[in-house]
Amino acid sequence: MELILHEKPKRPTIIEGFPGVGYVGTITVEYMINHLDAKPIGLIFDENIPPVAMLYKDQTRRLMEIYYAKKENIVFIHAITGIKGMEWDVADTILELAKTLNAKEIISLEGVVSPIDDQLSRVFVRSNDTKSEKEFIKMGVEKLENGAVTGVTGALMLKAEHVNSTFLFAETSTGTPDSRSSAELIKYLDTYLGLKIDPKPLIKQAEAFESKLKELVKLSLDGNKTKEKDNLNYLG
């Protein structure tokens, strides 16, 4: 796995989010990149990453890129591909990036399954930096006391002993992209980093998505009923 950088900001905060439960990390990072007008400054390359070019307006985007918001001095790792089997390598590469840039802190974003289907997702924090952890707890974030953390986040937890690292987990009760849980993460990140990002558009996006999903479910159910009726008519 290779880290490629075209620019090397000094002492940034690194925020990473990989596809996981509810795609919470990916959605949050994407939203922040757009709202802070972050620019691409590099990428993470590996031959095991699918050779897919994502075309977006006049841009050609890769599946795992590094962005930089200069004014806020934040580096984002944006991933829109699964990395199963590469978790340790990705964690090592993130730590290499942190060392190269002498990063102030790594913030890792993740979704966790909630047994409760609630409008408001709880957010949990775990950090190897007591000061950061206390700041989030003061905002109303709950400390993650128990559980098993896997994937890149789990690998970082085990390896990032010498880098200030904070891990945020947003509850989601859906296997589909969950913008509402991402909005909860952004709310706390906004306060913590002083960014002035409005999460309301994400909530509206969530409402629109949920409304569309309900329509699709209804159509699916109606379709099944029609099919059952046709079958009954056929059987006579």
Q: Which residue has the tokens 């589909």?
A: 176
Shortest CA distance to 152 belongs to which of 63, 85, 52?
Answer: 85
Cβ atoms < 10 Å from Cβ of 22: 27
Q: What is the pLDDT of residues 159-178, one digit of tens each?
A: 998 899 999 999 987 667 78
Residue 228 has pLDDT above 50, yes or no: no
The segment with the largest mean pLDDT, out of 39-43, 142-146, 199-203, 220-224, is 39-43
Q: What pLDDT does residue 234 have?
A: 38
Q: Residue 224's pLDDT is what?
A: 45
Architecture of domain 2-198: 3-Layer(aba) Sandwich (3.40)
Chain mean position to CA 31: 10
Encoding tokens for residue 58? 């006049």
> Where residue 13 falls among pLDDT bands split at 50, 70, 90?
very high
* pLDDT band, residue 235 (cuts 50/70/90): very low
pLDDT tens, 124-134? 999 999 999 99
- Over the stretch 73-108, which tens digit does the pLDDT of each residue have? 999 999 887 788 899 999 999 999 999 999 999 999
pLDDT at 231 over 50: no
Question: Would strands 123-127 and 142-143 be described as parallel, antiparallel, or unpaired?
Answer: parallel
Rounded-to-integer distance, Cα 101 and Cα 86, Å: 23
Q: What is the mean pLDDT of residues 192-206?
A: 82
Domain boundaries, the chain: 2-198, 203-236
Q: Band the pLDDT of 19: cuts 50, 70, 90.
A: confident
Q: What is the pLDDT of residues 33-67, one digit of tens each?
A: 989 999 999 999 988 888 888 787 777 878 899 99
